[in-house]
A and B are shown apart, each in its own frame.
Chain A
Amino acid sequence: MKKVISIFILGLSLSLAAESHKHSEHREHEAHVHGGATLNIAFDQLKGKIEFKGAADGVIGFEHAAKSDQDKKTVADAILKFETNISTMVVFDTTLGCVVSKELVEIQAEDHADHKDEKKSNKHKGQHSDFIANFNVVCAKSVLGSKITFDFTPFKRINDLDVTILVDAVQKTTEVKKKPVTLEIK
């Protein structure tokens, strides 16, 4: 009898612990703004990095998983357009001799299903997705003191781009709306 009670108590404790763990699981959602995007640029001497992140809708035109051939083609075209246009969207001074190369371009689906039932029904899962693109930059001369122009007009659905730049001790931000913006790195 004692054994049965012990097993029962152990079972109950484990079930309570599991329940408590379930309640304490980490839940949070990152903000997702349609039409918005962030662009971070950091440089260590002559080597730099460009990181773009924005609602996939701004680059591709939709955020659902591409299943049809048409959707898959749209995604592939948008990715190619972004990759080939990066040097005209982030324009370094030509005298610096900067070369931009792709590191990563991907579409990241956001899991918005945080409720048990929602997860089961899969109703709200993957409602939003982000377009992420990282590029490496190598310049022949330091970008300090030069100007960088941001022109994201090829993507009409990106209406508000927040740019942050880190070069040596320089920390700058700017906001790019519909028109190209030039920022001096000093």
Chain B
Amino acid sequence: MIYLKLALKSLRNRIFSSALTVISIALSVMLLLAVERTKRASEEGFTQSVSQADLLVGARTGPLNLILYTVFNMGSASNNISMQTYEDIQKNPAVEWTIPYSLGDGHKGFRVVATDENFYQHYRFRGDQKVEFLSGKPALDIWDVVVGSEVQKKLNYNLNDSIVIAHGVTRGEGIQLHDDKPFKISGILKPTGTAIDQTVYISLLGMEAIHIDWKNGSQPTKENSTPQDQMTKESIKIGQITSFFLRTKSRIQTLKLQRDINNYSEEPLMAIIPGATLSDLWRGLSNIETVLKIISFMVMIVGLFSMLSTILAGLNERRREMSILRSIGAGPLQLCLLLVFESAFLTFIGLMIGLLIELAAFFILSGWLESQFGFYVTGDSVTKTEILYLLLVFIFGILIGFIPAYRASRLALKDGLSARI
């Protein structure tokens, strides 16, 4: 208790330098914990870019390619899947629902995804979050289009605006435009922090309709093109899709169905478990995590050494204080303990402030971080790893205290009393 009293009085006497030391430790701890939480949140956000879908099925390619072009709008499909195959798998008694995706077109640098009502009904990301509308309704009619929040913001779109889809190219402006068949915006989606925000959704019928008179990859002439107003849902037959998500009635059935799809003899297909492939992909990015962790540990060490330098610098100013303490009976060991206690106390306060700032910042910003950057803050407020970091920093803080403590214990009584201050 006497150490606490003495330390507090001494620190109060040097409030400015003590506060700076605490702030420096707090900021370092906050950074260390923020990096750890960001890592966790970005991993959760990334690996749960799509959830509750048991399998993702596409033409045979690599699992990463399939997940990249279907979930992240990156790269292209190696092949398409015939509608017959899709319907065949859809009818499998183990299947609960499917979400078809048809890709290949773009709009001003954003990918166009053709899908059906199942997307709006069943697609989930980050646990149980579903696709929600800021305004409007799903693109279920032939010429309906739904835009993601980022598309709406960048291109300044409103409901009922007319948009033209470009053929083929999904990056930058398209070369061939389906300008004879414009779409009308029927809905705008809420931000999700996923690739959905940068996507334009149309119906499978819409995708088929804009390509209906194309022959050998060439756009039809005006005379050969079926007028937009003459197209009806009944007149359009969907021939192929690019990939589809699938949910089985039970997880055990998923394994068998995955095997069956991978061995489907009528068409070469590949079925992957999306969450598993995403966590594989994340593991491949673990080097970035390590670099971030190293940087934050370095910041932490700088913080602790700044504490050391502050205490050491203060020690010179405190030679008289030390001498007075010795003159009233304090031995070298007691002085040593006092300084170690001071160091531990400063580290502890710094740790607590750093932890509080970090928790408060993530609590306040979690919604914004999730919708803007896809950081999904979930699980315990303070994890075992974070507690371990805090303990390590605390122990290091105590150990650092031994350096000035050792120096102070070696000062002779006359050093302080004869010093000119």
Contact of B279 among A28, A48, A171 (CB under 8 A): A171
Within 8 A of A (CB), among B249-302: 250-252, 254-255, 265, 268, 273-277, 279-280, 283
B127 near A: Cβ within 8 Å?
A: yes
Using known A-B contacts A26-B265, A166-B273, determine if residue A173 contacts B279 with beta carbons closer than 8 Å: yes
Check A40/B279 contact, CB under 8 A, given A26-B265, A166-B54, A169-B52.
Answer: no
Let me know if A125 is at the binding interface, CB within 8 A: no
Interface centre among A42, A43, A44, A170 (most CB of B within 10 A): A42
* Chain A residues whose CB sits within 8 angstroms of the CB of B274 once the complex forms: 171
Interface status of B371 (Cβ within 8 A of chain A): no
| A42 and B276 form a contact (CB under 8 A) | no
User: Which one of A28, A49, A172 contacts B275 once the chains associate, using CB atoms below 8 Å?
Assistant: A172
B245 CB to nearest chain A CB (Å): 13
- State the Cβ distance, A19 to closest chain B Cβ, in Å: 20
Chain B residue with minimal CB distance to A168? B251
Cross-chain contact A47 with B279 (CB below 8 angstroms): no
In the complex, whether A71 has a CB less than 8 A from a CB of chain B is: no
Asked if residues A42 and B255 are in contact (CB atoms below 8 Å), the reply is: yes
Say which residue of A26, A51, A172, A186 sits within 8 Å of B276 (CB atoms).
Answer: A172
Q: Nearest residue in B to A170 (C-beta to C-beta)? A: B275
Asked whether, in the complex, the Cβ of A44 is within 8 Å of the Cβ of B276, the reply is no
In this complex, what residue of B is CB-closest to A43? B251
A167 CB–B CB distance under 8 Å: yes
Q: Number of residues in A with C-beta < 8 Å to the partner?
A: 22
Answer yes or no: A74 CB below 8 A from chain B CBs.
Answer: no
Within 8 A of B (CB), among A138-181: 164-173, 175
Contact (Cβ within 8 A) B255 A49 = yes
Give the Cβ gap from B45 to chain A, nearest Cβ, in Å. 15
Assess whether B52 is in contact with A42, with CB atoms less than 8 Å apart.
no
Q: Quick check: B273 and A44 within 8 Å, CB to CB?
A: no
Residues of B within 8 A of A164 (CB): 273, 276
**Shortest beta-carbon distance from A108 to chain B in Å:** 13
Q: Mark B16-53, 1 if CB is under 8 A from A, else 0.
A: 00000000000000000000000000000000000110
B252 adjacent to A44 (CB under 8 Å): yes
Given the complex, which residues of B lie within 8 Å of A175, measured CB to CB? 283
A171 to B255, CA, bound (A): 12
| Minimum CB–CB distance for B149 against chain A, Å | 25
Q: Which residue of B lies closest to A163 (CB)?
A: B276
In the complex, per-residue mask of B226-254: 1 if CB is within 8 Å of any chain A CB, else 0: 00000000000000000000000011101
Docked pose: A80 CA to B128 CA in angstroms: 43
Q: Which of B51, B275, B277 neighbours the largest number of chain A CB atoms within 10 Å of its CB?
A: B275
> Could you tell me the distance between the alpha carbons of A124 and B237 in the complex, rounded to whole angstroms?
46
Encode contact with B along A31-51: 1 for CB under 8 Å, 0 otherwise: 000000000101110011101
14 contacts between A and B (CB under 8 A): A42-B252, A43-B251, A44-B250, A49-B255, A51-B255, A166-B54, A166-B276, A170-B275, A171-B276, A171-B279, A172-B279, A173-B277, A173-B279, A186-B379
